[in-house]
């Protein structure tokens, strides 16, 4: 059996400008979690570590980021654990690539960076393993990262790394380094270690092809990532165990304020399940009671301390007690007149709908985003 630690999309050096003063803290946390990834590889005695792209958030990195990577890769070397890495879409192998500026292979003898334009491979006879990979040369490409992939040695295990998008009809952008299920199925690989999608996701069962997602929360990430501990069994089977190492969590709440009585009830809804390690994004929608005055900045300040970070976007609109016409605005006036006629001429549910439509319509005509 061979055990592999598969990680990707670590995005060292990512800026968390939306987090205010917590941004620096999360940048530090990325580094701490990266150390934790390496420590896990050592503790779990894996045979090899695979980094499937976007180790760095950008090709421009401060020296401490580079030093950290060299230090951690050398730590793996002390434990006789090799590392295979492909440049991703954030740290592509272009003319200003960090992999051209820094000689990682020279500074860490256990590291292999795939830097040929087409798929190339490295054989590890001790592990009975061959690893295949192709770097991303730029952020966008129409070429599949799995193009021409096939086993080229007599190893028992064949593992490919790729950084790109799995093809899903009408969802995947064509120039996003797209590869297809047929390519995975016909690849002849034992396992495919994928990067680029920021969540744990299995594209295929046979052979298994998985995204690990980022080990720690990074901007715009909506689902939790993990590192994958992959066991290649002598029987030919593959076992994939996601292990969540990240400290921060993220969720989104959409709250319809129409059912909410007062400010205290709204605060309680926003704060439900609050935690110091949670990044929460709240969107308020619907028509609020006339007495419910929402100030998102105030809510963020008052309730934010219970979270790692809280953002509140208000797309709700207070119900107007009485809609009055405005002499300057003809379209608005005509709308109010028509809707009031409809309200007068209807009853029951239809009347409720017409009343709501009047309120929403006014809010929209006033330039508010309520839908």
- Nearest approach, Cβ of 293 to Mn ion (angstroms)? 41
> Which range, of 6-14, 185-193, 224-232, 263-271, touches Mn ion by CB under 5 A?
6-14
| Closest CB 110 distance from Mn ion, rounded Å | 24
Residue number with CB closer to Mn ion (2 or 52):
52
Q: Which is nearer to Mn ion, 9 or 216 (by Cβ)?
A: 9
Comparing CA positions, the residue from 48, 177, 196 lying closest to residue 125 is 48
DSSP 8-class letter at 17: G
Contact partners, residue 356, CB within 8 Å, separation at least 6: 287
**Smallest separation (angstroms) from Mn ion to the CB of 197:** 8
Q: Based on CB atoms, which residue is closest to Mn ion, 51 or 287?
A: 51
Question: Of 133 and 288, which CB lies nearer to Mn ion in the complex structure?
Answer: 133
The CB-of-273 to Mn ion minimum distance in angstroms stands at 28
Select from 7-15, 23-31, 109-117, 231-239 the region that touches Mn ion (CB under 5 A): 7-15
Q: Residue 294, class by beta-carbon neighbours within 10 Å (0-12 exposed, 13-18 middle, 19+ buried)?
A: middle
Taking the C-alpha atoms of residue 352 and residue 350, their distance in angstroms, rounded to an integer, is 5
Scanning residues 254 to 293, which ones bind Mn ion (CB under 5 A)? none
Least Cβ distance, residue 138 to Mn ion (angstroms): 14
Q: What is the CA radius of gyration of the chain?
A: 26
Cα–Cα distance list, 236 to 127, 151, 209, 239, 370 (Å):
15, 15, 15, 10, 55
Q: Is residue 173 a contact partner of residue 196, using CB atoms and an 8 Å limit?
A: no
Tokens of 145: 């990262």
| Site stretch for Mn ion (CB under 5 A), options 54-62, 224-232, 267-275, 298-306 | 54-62
Which range in 8-16, 115-123, 132-140, 353-361 contacts Mn ion by CB under 5 A? Answer: 8-16
As measured in angstroms, the least distance from the Cβ of 60 to Mn ion is 16
On whether the CB atoms of residues 175 and 149 are closer than 8 A, the answer is no
Number of residues that bind Mn ion (CB under 5 A): 2
Nearer to Mn ion, 90 or 112 (CB): 90
* Alpha-carbon distances of 50 from 59, 67, 135, 197, 315, rounded to whole Å: 19, 19, 13, 16, 43
54 counts as binding Mn ion under rule CB under 5 A: yes
- Candidates 5, 7, 9, 76; binder of Mn ion (CB under 5 A) is 9
Nearest distance in Å: CB 162, Mn ion = 13
**Beta strand extents in the chain (DSSP E only):** 2-7, 48-51, 83-85, 111-113, 120-124, 129-133, 157-163, 165-166, 178-179, 191-195, 201-205, 208-211, 227-232, 238-243, 249-256, 278-288, 309-318
Interface region with Mn ion, contact rule CB under 5 A, candidates 52-60, 137-145, 186-194, 261-269:
52-60
- Which residues sit at the interface with Mn ion, rule CB under 5 A? 9, 54
């Amino acid at each position: 059996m061979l055990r592999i630690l598969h990680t990707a999309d670590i995005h060292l050096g990512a800026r968390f400008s939306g987090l205010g003063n917590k941004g620096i803290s999360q940048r530090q946390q990325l580094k701490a979690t990266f150390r934790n990834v390496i420590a896990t590889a050592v503790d779990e005695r894996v045979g090899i570590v695979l980094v499937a792209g976007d180790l760095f958030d950008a090709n421009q990195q401060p020296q401490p980021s580079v030093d950290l990577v060299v230090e951690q890769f050398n730590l793996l070397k002390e434990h006789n654990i090799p590392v295979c890495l492909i440049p991703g879409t954030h740290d592509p192998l272009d003319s200003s690539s960090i992999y051209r500026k820094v000689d990682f292979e020279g500074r860490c003898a256990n590291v292999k960076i795939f830097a040929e334009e087409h798929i190339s491979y490295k054989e590890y006879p001790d592990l009975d393993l061959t690893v295949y990979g192709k770097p991303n040369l730029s952020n966008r490409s129409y070429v599949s990262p799995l193009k021409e992939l096939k086993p080229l040695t007599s190893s028992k295990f064949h593992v490919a790394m790729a950084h790109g998008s799995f093809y899903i009809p009408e969802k995947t952008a064509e120039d996003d380094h797209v590869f297809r299920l047929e390519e995975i199925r016909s690849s002849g690989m034992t396992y495919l270690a994928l990067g680029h999608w920021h969540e744990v996701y299995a594209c295929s069962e046979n052979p298994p092809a998985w995204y690990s997602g980022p080990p720690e929360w990074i901007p715009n990430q909506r689902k939790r990532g993990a590192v994958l501990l992959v066991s290649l069994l002598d029987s030919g089977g593959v076992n994939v165990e996601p292990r969540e190492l990240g400290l921060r969590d993220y969720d989104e709440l959409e709250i319809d304020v129409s059912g909410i009585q007062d400010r205290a009830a709204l605060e309680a809804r926003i704060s439900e399940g609050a935690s110091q390690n949670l990044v929460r994004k709240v969107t308020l929608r619907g028509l609020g009671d006339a007495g419910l005055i929402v100030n998102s900045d105030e809510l963020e300040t008052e309730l934010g301390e219970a979270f790692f970070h809280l953002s509140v976007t208000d797309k709700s609109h207070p119900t107007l007690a009485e809609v009055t016409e405005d002499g300057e605005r003809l379209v608005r006036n005509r709308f109010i007149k028509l809707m009031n006629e409809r309200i007068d001429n209807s009853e029951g549910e239809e009347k409720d709908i017409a009343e709501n439509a009047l309120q929403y319509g006014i809010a929209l005509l006033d330039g508010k985003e309520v839908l």
